[in-house]
Copies of this chain bind each other. A is one copy, B any other.
Amino acid sequence: MATTDQRVRSSELASQLRFAVMRLSRRLRQHAPEDITPSQLSALSVIVREERLTLSQLAVAERVQPPTITRVIDSLEQKGLATRVPSDQDRRVAFVEPTPAGRTLVDTIRRRRDAYLARRLRTFSAEERALLERAARLLERLIEDPES
């Protein structure tokens, strides 16, 4: 019955967590400037983090088909946020790299979202923040799941 109790509590907790996490992420998404779309930002963030990767690798990372990446990179290039760099090892391959403007933009948006969250968090007590800090580490462990 320890098992039963565990399962019940896991599924109630799952429901609460799902609700809170989905809502909060929605709220955070609203704190992006208007001149970049969500999918462009998502791709650009990966490019900035990885510093240099091929279009195929990016497509896999974004869980998207190659034609979709082609067009997202087209718009990022037009906006001066990333550049294609042809490989000299294999002339079929193109790398993508962030431009300084691209790096700056990702950083700006992160700061803005962090600022929103931090502002809200300042209304919490030190104990509550400490609890959330431990929870954040647990959530990261929860995400580490390899697929499924």
Give A residues with C-beta under 8 Å from B.
6-7, 9-11, 13-28, 30, 63, 110, 113-118, 120-122, 124, 126, 128-129, 131-143, 145, 148
Contact call A114/B6, Cβ cutoff below 8 A: no
**Which 6 A-B residue pairs are closest in the complex by CB-CB distance?**
A135-B135, A25-B25, A14-B117, A20-B139, A16-B136, A14-B118
Cross-interface CB contact of A133 among B7, B13, B114, cutoff 8 Å: B13
Complex: A136 Cα to B135 Cα, angstroms: 9
Complex: A25 Cα to B28 Cα, angstroms: 11
Q: Which residue of B lies closest to A143 (CB)?
A: B23
Quick one: copies of this chain in the complex? 2
A contact face: mostly helix, strand, loop, or mixed = helix
Cross-interface CB contact of A122 among B7, B115, B124, B135, cutoff 8 Å: B7
Complex: A145 Cα to B22 Cα, angstroms: 15
Q: A6-B126, A20-B143, A131-B134 are in contact. List 6 more A-B contacts (CB 8 A).
A: A7-B122, A9-B129, A10-B129, A11-B118, A121-B142, A131-B138
Given contacts A10-B129, A11-B114, contact A136 B17 (CB under 8 A): yes
Given contacts A18-B113, A21-B25, contact A124 B138 (CB under 8 A): yes
Given contacts A17-B117, A25-B25, contact A135 B131 (CB under 8 A): yes
